Amino acid sequence: RWRKWQIRARIQSSIDRNLAQAMNELERIGNLLGLPKSVKDEGALIYRKAVEKGLVRGRSIESVVAAAIYASCRRMKIARTLDEIAQYTKANRKEVARCYRLLLRELNVDVPVSDPKDYVTRIGSLLGLSGASMKLAAEILEKAKNVGLTAGKDPAGLAAAAIYIAALLNEERRTQKEIAQVAGVTEVTVRNRYKELIQELKIEIQNQ
């Protein structure tokens, strides 16, 4: 039937137009975040599923793209906070988070719980720390997880504190302020996590 064909064509073209615009946005934001092609491709796949399910209706393309990028980063274990991603959009973190939750509930995307260790690599390299310190920080986080210290806590804050301790022990100290800034958390959070980690894991820190 002609009518059926027309409707199909119309829907298809609207999806195509939406996708074309979204892919530009995805490319733009992905590049600003310095994401590898594989992560952008995964984000594109997630976004395509969302459009086909009509999840973008009533929402800005940009915020759904941002949410798809975040979901992709999480799946590929690329440490990026929602704030980092949302800063390149007109939407705020809350709106992007809302879209992200929608993607999780409506699409069959499996996203693992984020691992603080993934943040160690990013924070460590941004600070120019040695591989040994990053490895030590990861070991500290593993111990913390095993004694149930990490549940409910922001992975970025945990990673920041572990890095702080590891750098201290390896004599390549960075200030809490420097670490907090690249980790995207406050100094207070780094300090709180730091205190808890050294106390519960009985880590000896020499003065100064």
The nearest distance, CB 70 to other proteins, in angstroms, is: 10
- Site residues for other proteins, 18-37, by CB under 8 A, read none
Of 20-28, 37-45, 49-57, 150-158, the window that binds other proteins (rule: CB under 8 A) is 150-158
Does the protein bind other proteins through residue 72 (CB under 8 A)?
A: no
The CA-atom distances, in angstroms, between 71 and each of 135, 174, 188 are 26, 31, 28
The nearest distance, CB 148 to other proteins, in angstroms, is: 5
Binding interface with DNA (CB under 7 A)? 58, 94, 97-98, 101, 152-154, 157-158, 184-186, 188-189, 191-193
In the bound state with DNA, the residue whose beta carbon lies nearer, of 26 and 183, is: 183
Does the protein bind other proteins through residue 81 (CB under 8 A)?
A: yes
The DSSP output letter for 91 is S
Does the protein bind other proteins through residue 77 (CB under 8 A)?
A: no
Does the protein bind other proteins through residue 86 (CB under 8 A)?
A: no
Figure out which of the listed residues 45, 145, 172, 192 binds other proteins, where binding follows CB under 8 A. Answer: 145
When CB distances are held under 5 to 8 angstroms depending on the partner's kind, the choice from DNA, other proteins, none that residue 104 binds is: other proteins
142: Cβ contacts below 8 Å, ≥ 6 apart:
117
The b-or-e profile of 136-169 (16+ CB within 10 A means b, else e) is bbbebbeebeeeebbeebbbbbbbbbbbbbbbbb
The nearest distance, CB 153 to other proteins, in angstroms, is: 6
Query: What is the distance between the alpha carbons of residues 153 and 117, in angstroms, rounded to a whole number?
Result: 13
Query: What is the distance between the alpha carbons of residues 184 and 157, in angstroms, rounded to a whole number?
Result: 8
In the bound state with other proteins, the residue whose beta carbon lies nearer, of 101 and 177, is: 101
Query: What is the distance between the alpha carbons of residues 197 and 59, in angstroms, rounded to a whole number?
Result: 42
Beta carbons of 25 and 16 less than 8 angstroms apart: no
- Site residues for other proteins, 169-208, by CB under 8 A, read none
Does the protein bind other proteins through residue 71 (CB under 8 A)?
A: no
Query: What is the distance between the alpha carbons of residues 103 and 105, in angstroms, rounded to a whole number?
Result: 6
Tokens of 126: 């941004």
Does the protein bind other proteins through residue 107 (CB under 8 A)?
A: no
Sign of the torsion angle spanned by Cα atoms 149, 150, 151, 156: positive
When CB distances are held under 5 to 8 angstroms depending on the partner's kind, the choice from other proteins, DNA, none that residue 114 binds is: other proteins
